Chains A and B, each alone.
Chain A
């Protein structure tokens, strides 16, 4: 078997463009999913039941169905049945954001809930409002735990962006699969794709491990 690695080198600029798209998608999704998760988490903790039920249903639904199906659904159903015309990239970002927001909302919620009730009572006893307690007492402690969990979510988000290739968003996996069908150098191109993902993802996984070891919050 002869291997033609030059195909990979010739197409390297396109592969790198795809890799940039993968990074861009992850950054944009996370930037939207952090506020999204905060909103969902505060809705879930709301005392007004319809709001908390709605947020719970949203979160549980997005956590218990496959992301790839959510992307398909957004792509085929939104334009045809709800007359919402989005570009492929916007559809991809919408799907990823709803999914990651749901996971983030659980991160925020468990971060906030992990602060013992006594601290709320103590805050009320010295005359603080619930908002003040949240801002000055609970959040500063919950933040570290939340950041660590967000780092873990980031690593899986980075991998999950590969699924948007099914609706032809030009990320690394889509570009690689395109080059594969243009050149028929399947082994070379797919191995290069895997290698680029590895080169980007491996250091992130290692950094996340290190951050976890370094900043773990012990009670």
Chain B
């Protein structure tokens, strides 16, 4: 078995660009997921029973259908319904975003409900509105407590963005396949892709843990 690094020397700008695409997809879908999560998580916690049931249905559906299925459906089937094709990157971000949104909603709901009931009562007794109480008292504590879960969701976003290679989004895995196919060097390229994913994910996981340990006291009450 001989190992050759020629594929990297020849195509590193191409592969480096793929790393940016992966990061862009994960960060934007994380943001989309966070917005969905805040609304769904918030409404499930404070919006009454009916909204809780309806949005719970969305959350549990996302927990039970694979991301691959959502992605493939959104990219191949959904355009037939609306009569307009969707760009691959948009489809990937949308699929990843609505999938992450469900997990984010659960994280946010868990964070909000972990703040003791008495705090809401005290805020109301002081004459604050419910929105004010959530915004200024409950949310700041809840966000800190959510940090570890948000960190692991971000790691999941980076890893799951690789699934977008199935619809040919030019992210790391897809571009690795392209170069591996052209150079017949699957060992070097797939191994390098693994290392790159590891270098992206592992520091995020450890970094968030470190930050959390520093700020954890701000979330305890």
Residues of A bordering B, CB below 8 Å = 1, 60-61, 64-70, 72-73, 76-77, 80-81, 155, 159-160, 162-163, 165-166, 173, 177, 180, 186-187, 190-191, 193-194, 197-198, 200-202, 204-206
Known contacts A64-B202, A77-B190; is-contact A159 B77 (Cβ 8 Å) = no
Identify the interface centre among B64, B67, B73, B163: most chain A CB within 10 Å of its CB: B64
Residue of A nearest to B201 (CB): A64
Residue of A nearest to B186 (CB): A76
Name which of B9-17, B29-37, B126-134, B192-200 contacts chain A. Answer: B192-200
Q: What residues of A have a CB within 8 angstroms of the CB of B193 in the complex?
A: 69
Contact status B69-A194, CB under 8 Å: yes
Contact status A73-B69, CB under 8 Å: no
Taking CB atoms and an 8 Å cut-off, the chain B residues in 162-221 that contact chain A are: 162-163, 165-166, 173, 177, 180, 186-187, 190-191, 193-194, 197-198, 201-202, 205
Contact status B69-A197, CB under 8 Å: yes
What are 19 A-B pairs with beta-carbon distances under 8 A?
A1-B81, A61-B198, A68-B173, A70-B194, A72-B173, A73-B194, A76-B180, A76-B190, A80-B187, A155-B63, A159-B67, A163-B163, A180-B76, A191-B77, A200-B64, A201-B63, A201-B64, A202-B60, A204-B64
Contact status B70-A194, CB under 8 Å: yes
Complex-state Cα separation, A81 to B2, whole angstroms: 9
The 4 closest A-B pairs by CB, nearest first: A201-B64, A66-B162, A162-B66, A64-B201
B155 within 8 A of A: yes
B183 to chain A, nearest CB (A): 13
Residues of B in contact with A, size category: 35 or more
Q: What residues of B have a CB within 8 angstroms of the CB of A68 in the complex?
A: 162-163, 165, 173
Residue of B nearest to A3 (CB): B80
Q: What residues of B have a CB within 8 angstroms of the CB of A206 in the complex?
A: 60
Partner of A194 from the list B65, B80, B159 (CB cut-off 8 Å) is B65
Q: What residues of A have a CB within 8 angstroms of the CB of B194 in the complex?
A: 61, 65, 69-70, 73
Identify the interface centre among B69, B72, B76, B190: most chain A CB within 10 Å of its CB: B69
Residue of B nearest to A166 (CB): B166
Known contacts A69-B162, A77-B190; is-contact A186 B77 (Cβ 8 Å) = yes
Contact status B1-A198, CB under 8 Å: no
Partner of A190 from the list B1, B66, B72, B201 (CB cut-off 8 Å) is B72
Complex-state Cα separation, A204 to B65, whole angstroms: 11
Contact status A190-B187, CB under 8 Å: no
Complex-state Cα separation, A186 to B190, whole angstroms: 31
Contact status B190-A72, CB under 8 Å: yes
B113 within 8 A of A: no
Contact status B173-A66, CB under 8 Å: yes
B68 within 8 A of A: yes
B114 within 8 A of A: no
Q: A69-B190, A81-B186 are in contact. List 14 more A-B contacts (CB 8 A).
A: A65-B159, A65-B194, A65-B198, A69-B193, A81-B187, A159-B65, A162-B68, A165-B68, A187-B81, A190-B73, A191-B77, A194-B69, A197-B64, A200-B64
Complex-state Cα separation, A209 to B43, whole angstroms: 20
Complex-state Cα separation, A170 to B187, whole angstroms: 25
Identify the interface centre among A69, A162, A166, A204: most chain B CB within 10 Å of its CB: A69
Residue of B nearest to A189 (CB): B77
